[in-house]
Amino acid sequence: MCGRFSLIVDLPTLQHTFNFEMNEELSPRYNIAPGQNILTVLSRGEKRAGIPMRWGLVPFWADDPKIGYKMINARAETVDEKASFKMPFQRQRCLILADGFYEWKKEGKEKQPYRFHLRNGKPFAFAGLWSKWTKQGEPLYTCTIITTKPNEVTREVHERMPVILPDDTYNMWLNLEVSDTEFLKSLLLPYPAEEMEVYPVSTLVNSPKNDMAEILSPLNSL
C-alpha cells in the first residue's frame, strides 16, 4: 500500500514540470497522511488544472464519507473490477504529485520507516483516481493512489508500491478519450528500480502530527 508521502517542491517548479494551472498557494509537506488534502492534476480540455483533493476516495454512491479512509489505495490488478474504482478508472483519472513516499518494515519487535525517492531527486506523479461526492453540503472531491507489485528496491521493505507514472505517459493517463482497459492497465507497472533510492528515517514519521523537515533526514544522520 501507500499510506504516507511527501511533497516539498515549490509550486512554480511543479507547474513547470507537470504543466498545470493553479491559483492556490502550496506549502511544503513532509508527512502527508490519509484524510488530508493532496495535490492532484486533472485534464481540463487542452489544459491541466491543479486541484487539492482529500486523500481517500469516496464513491459518488456512498452514504458516509468516512468510507474514504478505507479507499486510500486501489490495486492495479483489480482497479477495473471493484465497484468503487471501476467508473473513475474509465472517466476520472488524475496525477497525484509527490517527491517521496514512506513504507514500514518490521525489524524485530519494531517497525522501521523508510523513505523512497527518485535517484535524480525530481518530483513525480502517482497514478490516481478521483471522485465527486455531493450528498451533504458542498461537493467533496476525493482521490486514491493506485498500487502495484513491488520492484527490487521496494520489495525489501513492502509487498506493494504506488504506481509512479513515467512522464511520457501523463497525457495518455489524463486523456479521458482513452478508455481501453487493457491499455490503461498496461501503464500500471512497477517503476524501474535502478531509478529509485531508499533510506531509513526517524519514527517521527509514524505520527501524522509530525510534519517537519527532520523527517526527510536519513536515520544515521540524526
CB 6, CB 99: distance < 8 Å: yes
| Cβ neighbours, 10 Å, residue 58 | 24
CB 47, CB 21: distance < 8 Å: yes
Q: Which residues are catalytic?
A: 2, 103
Nearest residue to 29 via CA among 82, 88, 111, 101: 101
Q: What is the DSSP string of 73-103?
A: EEETTTTTTSTTTHHHHHH-EEEEEESEEEE
* Residues forming a β-bridge with 54: 37, 142
| Cβ neighbours, 10 Å, residue 198 | 16
